[in-house]
Amino acid sequence: MEQQAKQGVVLQNAADSVQDRKGLLGKMETLIKSGDFNSGPGAEQWKNLTAALQRPFGIESQSVSSQDEFNKLAAQLAREQFKTLGGTGTDAKLESAMSVSPNSGLSNRSNERIVALLKGNEDAIGVKNQEWQKYKSENGAGNYSKFSTKFNKDYDPRVFQAQYMSKP
């Protein structure tokens, strides 16, 4: 019973930060669509070269600062997701979480798709928590496993993700 209650609290804690993570995703999406920088293989090296060439003249391009901001947001998002998933432990585990999150090593199109999927996942966390709260008020907090099994039987993440995907 105590483990069941803890699982419900974990879900509620994850749901409490949904809007924070969606805010990060929204900022990343804006940067991707702005056209101020291009991500992909070699993007980080190109950014460094551009910054180095501009530095002697006191110039800072929008593309360099946009990519820096994107990288900062990507690291923040990966840490938040790692924490939400109960992540503790090694840097290697965090690095693994970062590699499957939007990052400047992926193409802009890949980052757009990942952002869309993650926004849908955040919505799903929020909805699952709402349903858990409703279930708890009707049935008591003692059977999270039963609730989760029933919820997951009918749950399809694509329902939440589709609204954020581009038409093509």
Q: DSSP letter string over 12-24?
A: HHHHHTHHHHHHH
Q: Flag whether the pTM goes above 0.85.
A: no
Q: Between 13 and 85, where is the model more confident?
A: 13
- Per the prediction, the chain carries an average pLDDT of 84
Binned at pLDDT 50, 70 and 90, residue 88 comes out as low
What is the tens place of the pLDDT at every residue in 118-152?
999 999 999 999 999 999 899 877 788 889 999 99
Query: What average pLDDT does the segment 99-108 reach?
Result: 85
Query: What average pLDDT does the segment 6-30 reach?
Result: 91
- Distance, CA of 20 to CA of 77 (rounded, Å): 9
* pLDDT over threshold 90, residue 3: no
Can you say whether residue 40 is alpha, beta or left, with left for phi > 0 and alpha for psi between -120 and 50 degrees? left
* pLDDT over threshold 90, residue 168: no
Give whole-number Cα distances, 107 to 46, 62, 103, 148, in Å.
14, 18, 9, 36
Using DSSP's 3-state secondary structure scheme, residue 151 falls into: helix
| Closest to 119 (Cα-Cα) out of 102, 136, 139, 96 | 102
- Residues 144/132, Cβ–Cβ less than 8 Å: yes
What is the tens place of the pLDDT at every residue in 45-61?
777 777 777 777 766 67
- Residues 43/104, Cβ–Cβ less than 8 Å: yes
Can you say whether residue 89 is alpha, beta or left, with left for phi > 0 and alpha for psi between -120 and 50 degrees? left
